[in-house]
């Protein structure tokens, strides 16, 4: 089978395209012929070797795929050969390959969504959209009319956070972006307004009449994290969903949180999926159904052949993309 392998740290240039022995069906797993794989910033970090203690090299990256069921492992029910599916491979990786063994609990039959969803869009969406859905619905517990601020608002995750928040009842949704060119995308992602991230606290407070927002969703971290409490109204909640900046963690004083009546929460889809696979799969089906019904939309920045995965990661590393990148396999 064709596959991408990371043999050594070194960034996107360290990716190697080649062949590996075909994966064989395993008990309790589905084997699928992969048609598309989503590309995320986590793969950039893997290529740099930032998680060697947890994910030793060599490995084949890839956290999300879509394709067709190739074989059904012993004990697996509810699927058929040739069925179109999307799956989260974030616990096992191996998404950047022409064949993948996937966990049925984390796999969504695309022909059971009630509306058509193409494979490329499914592969580009399943991880980020499921993250956004759970973070907004179950972690923050969105209430009708709440105001929300989303950082990295038109990225792979941020673009879904804003849309899901609006779909689940948010009254006002603002976002931050890294450069002026992205500000013009506010309407297409459902934002009331997009701010340049520099100085976002002052801009957010001005937009809210100095009241602040009910929730901040932060996948960026670093210096952004330090200002988030400033824009939260009393009883507002900061939801941490990533650290794309790669900067050092930002500690908060519990006394600061206590005295200011603010709340903090965190959500990691990988950790949640490992301990709650059935609930994660259910959320993925519900989220992809929203996408299939066109209640929200997915933005695909570009599609690359598998052998050019390094180019896709290099582009993502520049942090100048809108939406998601996809590999065609």
Q: φ, ψ for residue 268 (rounded to 5)?
A: -120, 115
Q: How many residues does the chain have?
A: 329
CA distance 23 to 29: 11
The tens-digit pLDDT sequence of the chain (329 residues) is 999 999 999 999 999 999 999 999 999 999 999 999 999 989 999 999 988 888 999 999 999 999 999 999 999 999 999 999 999 999 999 999 999 999 999 999 999 999 999 999 999 999 999 999 999 999 999 999 999 999 999 999 999 999 999 999 999 999 999 989 899 999 899 999 999 999 999 999 999 999 999 999 999 999 899 899 999 999 999 999 999 888 888 888 999 899 999 999 999 999 999 999 999 999 999 999 999 999 999 999 999 999 999 999 999 988 888 989 999 99
What span, in angstroms and rounded, lies between the C-alpha atoms of 223 and 82? 47
Look at residue 244 in the predicted model and tell me its pLDDT. 85
Structure confidence at residue 319 (pLDDT): 82
Q: Could you read off the pLDDT of 247-294 as tens digits, one per residue? A: 888 888 999 899 999 999 999 999 999 999 999 999 999 999 999 999
Convert the pLDDT of each residue in 163-208 to its tens digit: 999 999 999 999 999 989 899 999 899 999 999 999 999 999 999 9
- Identify any residues that bridge with 4 across adjacent strands, giving them in sequence order: 17
Domains along the chain?
2-126+275-328 (3.90.180.10), 128-269 (3.90.180.10)
Q: What is the pTM of this model?
A: 0.96
């Amino acid at each position: 089978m064709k596959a991408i392998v990371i043999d050594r740290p070194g960034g996107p240039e360290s990716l190697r395209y080649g062949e590996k022995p075909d994966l064989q069906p395993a008990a309790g797993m589905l084997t699928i012929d992969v048609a598309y794989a989503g590309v995320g910033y986590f793969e950039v970090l893997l290529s740099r070797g930032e998680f060697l203690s947890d994910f030793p090299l060599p490995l084949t990256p890839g956290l999300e795929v879509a394709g067709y069921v190739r074989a059904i492992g012993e004990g697996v029910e509810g699927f058929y050969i040739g069925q179109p599916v999307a799956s989260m491979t974030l616990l096992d990786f191996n998404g950047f390959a022409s064949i993948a063994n996937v966990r049925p609990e984390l796999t969504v039959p695309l022909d059971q969504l009630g509306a058509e969803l193409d494979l490329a869009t499914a592969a580009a969406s399943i991880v980020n959209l499921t993250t956004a859905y759970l973070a907004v619905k179950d972690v923050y517990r969105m209430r009708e009319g709440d105001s929300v601020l989303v950082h990295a608002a038109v990225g792979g995750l941020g673009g879904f956070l804003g849309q899901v928040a609006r779909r689940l009842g948010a009254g006002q949704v603002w976002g931050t972006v890294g450069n002026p060119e992205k500000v013009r995308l506010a309407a297409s992602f459902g934002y009331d307004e997009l701010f340049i991230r520099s100085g976002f606290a002052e801009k957010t407070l001005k937009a809210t009449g100095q009241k602040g927002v009910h929730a901040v969703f932060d996948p960026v971290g670093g210096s952004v994290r330090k200002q988030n409490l400033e824009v939260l109204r009393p009883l507002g909640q900061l939801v941490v969903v990533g650290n794309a900046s790669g900067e050092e963690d930002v500690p908060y004083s519990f006394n600061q949180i206590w005295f200011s009546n603010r709340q903090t929460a965190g959500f990691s889809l990988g950790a949640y999926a490992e301990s709650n696979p059935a609930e994660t799969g259910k959320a993925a089906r519900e989220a992809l159904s929203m996408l299939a019904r066109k209640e929200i939309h997915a933005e695909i920045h570009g599609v690359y052949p598998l052998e050019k995965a390094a180019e896709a990661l290099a582009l993502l590393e520049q942090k100048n993309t809108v939406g998601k990148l996809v590999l065609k396999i």
